């Protein structure tokens, strides 16, 4: 991306996309929480983590110290950046998206679509999504044994640094083979998935397909280090200026939040030449529309609708990661929108929504095809 974007534009776009997909800025959560300052968990070996995992661990520590935590039925969908108002823009802006305590496969896809949308806004290219699954601990154990056997059998034909590395870390050794013709003959993680991991990966791919999200299977892609489980994915714009990598990190999240369920995150890196001080910017606080949805079909449609309304520049908020309608309505009340856009299974199948004006409780059924025009009329 030969970007002319100012760092403030990157932050504004990340904020807008986070809002459309239900990711709250971490700085808002941090203001509400009861802050405590603590160290990293004793069991966490920070120096043993790969660079991306260290970024994620640092963020999880900030979330924990802010007093925020996921709860049953209410995962934390957050985004965060190292670019702050009043400070000089970093040479590389980092945007993180996280769904902490979100066990369903839809969370992976919500996060992927948010990252793709950000990349499209920044570079006019959505980037190529490459995806694989490393599976759970059981899967990693089987794969480690297969990789060990691979390096023993093929050692004489492999680069010496890979063979030496394999004696200590077969996964890192496999990464070193990137670009080598032998990489294609490496054992694939998906050939060793446990039943639970296979079902999760299939669910992610099904969501990608049903939401018309293009992807490429990458059988030789391995997650970096031991912090990651289940899916791993990468996106990169054709010019290489914007790169993203993401995965699930169940055990890492549990070290910061006891009893936390599975979590998924992505780190986006944006290279920029601008070094100016980032000015403050006003964020839209009370959206005119909040989208609430009931059921799986509605949630699938909500992701496509987020893109549709974003391109039409119609501000909208939603909480895709929250299952309970009651909880979605409670969160909507906090933002005090004028209208609710409501979709259940019936509406999703009929390709329509219900537009409810909160002050009068009047409701209007609107087809997908006319939604943008109808919302513009009352915006």
**216-240: average pLDDT:** 82
> pLDDT tens across 55-114, in order?
999 999 999 999 888 888 788 999 999 988 888 888 889 999 999 999 889 999 999 999
Sign of CA dihedral 62, 99, 200, 248: negative
- With bands split at pLDDT 50, 70 and 90, how would you rate the model's confidence at 1? very low
Residues paired with residue 71 on neighbouring β-strands, in sequence order = 74
pLDDT band at 322 (very low <50, low <70, confident <90, very high): confident
What residue ranges do the domains of the chain occupy? Answer: 7-134+214-271, 137-191, 289-378
Average pLDDT along the chain: 86
- The C-alpha atoms of residue 10 and residue 272 are separated, in whole angstroms, by 10
Asked if 284 and 315 count as a contact pair (C-beta separation under 8 A), the reply is yes
**In the predicted model, is pLDDT for residue 10 greater than 60?**
yes
pLDDT score of 273 more than 80: no
**Exposed e or buried b per residue across 86-105, where buried means at least 16 C-beta atoms within 10 angstroms of its C-beta:** eeebbeebebbbbbbbbbbb
- Class of the domain covering 7-134+214-271: alpha beta
The pLDDT assigned to 105 comes to 92
CB proximity list for 377: less than 8 A, separation 6 or greater = none
- pLDDT tens for 337-351 read 999 999 999 999 999
Q: 28-40: per-residue pLDDT in tens?
A: 887 665 667 778 8
With bands split at pLDDT 50, 70 and 90, how would you rate the model's confidence at 240?
Answer: low
State the DSSP string of 264-314: EEEEEEEE----SBPPP-PPP-S-SEEEEE-SHHHHHHHHHHHHHHHHTT-
Which pLDDT belongs to residue 256? 92
- For residue 184, what pLDDT is reported? 61
Per-residue pLDDT, 2: 41
Would you report the helix, strand and coil content of the chain in percent, each value rounded to 5?
A: 45, 20, 35
The lowest-confidence range among 32-41, 127-136, 158-167 is: 32-41
- CA dist 270 and 241 (Å) reads 6
The class (CATH top level) of 289-378 is alpha beta
Per-residue pLDDT at 368 exceeds 80? yes
- Please answer whether residues 43 and 252 qualify as being in contact, where contact means their C-beta atoms are separated by less than 8 angstroms: no
């Amino acid at each position: 991306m030969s970007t002319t974007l100012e760092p403030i534009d990157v932050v504004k776009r990340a904020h807008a996309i986070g809002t459309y997909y239900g990711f709250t800025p971490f700085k808002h959560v941090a203001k509400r929480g009861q802050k405590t300052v603590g160290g990293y968990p004793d069991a966490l070996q920070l120096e043993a983590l790969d660079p991306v995992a260290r970024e994620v661990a640092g963020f999880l520590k900030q979330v924990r110290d802010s007093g925020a935590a996921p709860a049953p039925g209410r995962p934390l969908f957050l985004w965060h950046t190292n670019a702050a108002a009043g400070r000089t823009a970093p040479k590389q802006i980092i945007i993180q998206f996280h769904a902490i305590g979100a066990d369903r496969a839809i969370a992976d896809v919500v996060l992927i679509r948010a990252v793709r949308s950000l990349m499209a806004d920044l570079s006019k290219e959505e980037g190529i999504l490459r995806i694989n699954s490393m599976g759970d601990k059981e899967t990693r154990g089987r794969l480690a044994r297969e990789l060990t056997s691979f390096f023993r059998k093929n050692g004489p034909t492999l680069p010496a640094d890979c063979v030496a590395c394999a004696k200590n870390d077969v996964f890192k050794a496999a990464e070193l083979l990137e670009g080598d013709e032998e990489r294609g003959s490496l054992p694939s993680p998906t050939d060793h998935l446990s039943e639970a991991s296979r079902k999760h990966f299939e669910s992610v791919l099904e969501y990608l397909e049903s939401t018309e999200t293009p992807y490429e299977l990458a059988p030789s892609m391995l997650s970096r280090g031991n912090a990651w489980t289940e899916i791993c994915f990468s996106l990169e714009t054709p010019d290489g200026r914007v790169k993203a990598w993401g995965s699930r990190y169940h055990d890492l999240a549990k070290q910061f939040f006891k009893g936390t369920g599975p979590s998924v995150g992505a780190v986006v890196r944006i290279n920029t030449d601008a070094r100016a001080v980032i000015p403050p910017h006003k964020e839209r606080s009370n959206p005119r529309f909040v989208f609430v949805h009931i059921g799986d079909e509605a949630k699938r449609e909500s992701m496509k609708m987020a893109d549709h309304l974003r391109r039409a520049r119609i501000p909208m908020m939603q909480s895709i990661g929250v299952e309970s309608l009651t909880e979605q309505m409670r969160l909507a009340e906090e933002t005090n929108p004028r209208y609710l856009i409501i979709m259940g299974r019936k509406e999703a199948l009929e390709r329509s929504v219900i537009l409810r004006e909160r002050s009068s409780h009047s409701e209007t059924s609107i087809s997908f095809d006319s939604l943008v025009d109808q919302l513009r009329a009352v915006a």
